[in-house]
């Protein structure tokens, strides 16, 4: 057995001139427990020979030294692998194969061993700025699941100073830039049937996964799944693009309103003639059509206000109404933010003037058909809005205020929907030197706002309260 263990490794793969992929280890492999038992027996024999007499013989001493050397070498041959692990074996610079046998084993102690994990790993690539096909700067990020499937390439085709996660991160960045540069952000600047980053969905993810596998195959790495997890316009054009989306939503809404109004006018005229209510001349019909179209197509502005007398303090409750001429952003579409959004839309608010923002896209799914502007970028929402409602959790209010403080908040209205942070604290975070300070209020509604029946407590700041009263009350 000893002869086989020390001579066979020299003959392993001697007939193979080139090795460029993984192959299983076919050399001598013994149960680790059997070798451990032999080592214990040798150790016991050494102890017995040295203690059998007061003065051990020279032969006993030589055998003891040989036994100790054998034990040391034997200890170096132990290998233990768990499920999802492998070990690359190298015999004096020659690749001898990859061991994937799970458990406690013993191999040639002169083998160099490199353990490689075969388990799945995640990589979250931070959003990077790239130019889409039409040249617009966008922020795009991805998350991928990968694993090693060729241990030979993972060990020998990558420089030892480069770690596998670092190699995957760099190649993922390059593949993401390549794929993102092929497509436009949306269909606003392309044909309606062209594939885009925003509407591509699984097709974009499949192309990204294919590009990653092509780049990482050289290192023996397989990508199991890759998908975009962040997509937004870059900050320098975000506000302009958001207003473009608002304009498109307004035009679409107006088309629906006019289409419905024309149908209602035609129905009214048909009923008048059918029921012989009266006989209308051509001039009367034209005047009636004009009046009905004006009534049906006009904006329905805010109609109810609870206005306190000048010397009154803040009201205990008020009607929550947003003037249609102002753009409102709700950041954080949780239970409270979602209830307010439903209430605003149910009360007749123009959907194109409402911006709903949440970093988790699934929270925005229920509002896709509402006509409101949806986004996952808080900076976009805050920059495009006149009124900013912070619907995040109590513990996250200050962090969100700090995040949006980097944009120009001059003249805006900020309303916190959490009672844990006062208006003074918010003012300290967003203090504007030499400019018009934003109005700040803390509103505590309840989820009955979804059906326009909320009792809302409002605390407004001390900064010019008379001039700001109506603005704070409106939100």
Residue 375's closest CA among 437, 331, 312, 327? Answer: 331
Residues 6+ apart with CB under 8 A from 123: 143, 144, 146, 165, 168, 169, 172
Query: Are the beta carbons of 385 and 327 closer than 8 angstroms?
Result: yes
Show pLDDT as tens, one digit a residue, over the chain (475 residues).
Answer: 444 444 444 444 444 444 578 899 988 899 999 999 998 998 888 888 877 776 777 777 888 888 888 889 889 999 999 999 999 999 998 999 999 999 999 999 999 999 999 999 999 988 999 998 888 899 999 999 999 999 999 999 888 778 899 999 999 999 999 999 998 888 776 666 788 888 888 899 999 999 999 999 999 999 999 999 998 888 888 787 778 778 878 888 888 888 888 888 888 888 888 887 777 788 778 877 887 787 777 665 434 434 444 444 444 333 334 444 678 999 999 888 888 898 888 888 888 889 999 988 888 888 988 889 999 888 888 888 889 998 887 778 888 888 888 887 877 888 888 766 777 778 777 776 555 678 888 888 877 777 777 667 677 665 444 344 344 444 3
CA dihedral 190, 194, 198, 200 (to 10 degrees): -170
Query: Are the beta carbons of 134 and 205 closer than 8 angstroms?
Result: no
Residue 87's closest CA among 49, 117, 58? Answer: 117
Token pair, residue 136, equals 């617009």
CA 151 to chain centre: 31
Residue 458's closest CA among 424, 417, 397? Answer: 417
């Amino acid at each position: 057995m000893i002869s086989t263990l020390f001579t066979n490794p020299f003959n392993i793969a001697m007939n193979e001139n080139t090795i460029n992929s993984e192959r299983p280890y076919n050399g001598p492999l013994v149960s680790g427990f059997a070798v451990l038992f032999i080592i214990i027996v040798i150790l016991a024999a050494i102890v017995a020979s040295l203690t059998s007499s007061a003065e051990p013989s020279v032969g006993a001493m030589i055998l003891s030294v040989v036994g100790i050397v054998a034990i040391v070498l034997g200890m170096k041959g132990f290998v233990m692998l768990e499920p999802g692990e492998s070990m690359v074996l190298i015999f004096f610079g020659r690749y001898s194969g990859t061991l994937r046998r799970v458990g406690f084993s013993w191999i040639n102690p002169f083998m160099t061993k490199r353990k490689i994990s075969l388990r799945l790993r995640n990589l979250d690539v931070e959003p990077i700025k790239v130019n889409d096909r039409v040249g617009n700067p966008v922020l795009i990020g991805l998350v991928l699941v990968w694993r090693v499937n060729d241990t030979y390439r993972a060990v020998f085709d990558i420089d030892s100073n480069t770690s596998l996660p670092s190699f995957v991160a760099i190649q993922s960045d390059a593949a993401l830039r390549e794929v993102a540069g092929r497509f436009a952000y949306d269909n606003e600047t392309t044909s309606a049937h062209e594939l885009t980053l925003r509407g591509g969905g699984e097709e974009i993810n499949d192309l990204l996964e294919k590009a990653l596998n092509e780049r990482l195959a050289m290192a023996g790495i397989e990508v199991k799944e890759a998908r975009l997890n962040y997509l937004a316009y870059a900050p320098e054009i975000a506000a302009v693009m958001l207003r473009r989306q608002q304009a498109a939503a307004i035009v679409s809404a107006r088309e629906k309103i006019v289409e419905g109004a024309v149908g209602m006018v035609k129905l009214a005229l048909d009923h008048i003639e059918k029921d012989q209510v009266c006989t209308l001349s051509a001039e009367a019909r034209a005047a009636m059509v004009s009046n009905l179209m004006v009534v049906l197509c006009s904006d329905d502005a805010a109609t109810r206000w609870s206005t306190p007398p000048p010397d009154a303090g803040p009201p205990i409750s008020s009607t929550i109404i947003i003037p249609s001429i102002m753009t409102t952003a709700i950041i954080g579409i949780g239970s409270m933010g979602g209830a307010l959004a439903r209430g605003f839309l149910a009360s007749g608010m123009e959907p194109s003037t409402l911006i709903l923002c949440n970093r988790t896209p699934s929270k925005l799914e229920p509002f896709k058909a509402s006509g409101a502007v949806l986004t996952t970028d808080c900076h976009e929402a805050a920059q495009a809005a006149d009124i900013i409602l912070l619907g995040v959790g109590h513990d996250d209010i200050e962090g969100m205020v700090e995040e949006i403080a980097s944009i120009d908040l001059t003249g805006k209205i900020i309303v916190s929907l959490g009672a844990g942070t006062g208006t003074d604290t918010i003012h300290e975070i967003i203090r504007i030197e030499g400019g018009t300070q934003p109005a700040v209020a803390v509103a505590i509604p309840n989820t009955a706002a979804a059906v326009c029946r909320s009792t809302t407590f409002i605390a407004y700041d001390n900064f010019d309260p008379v001039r700001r009263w109506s603005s704070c009350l409106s939100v």
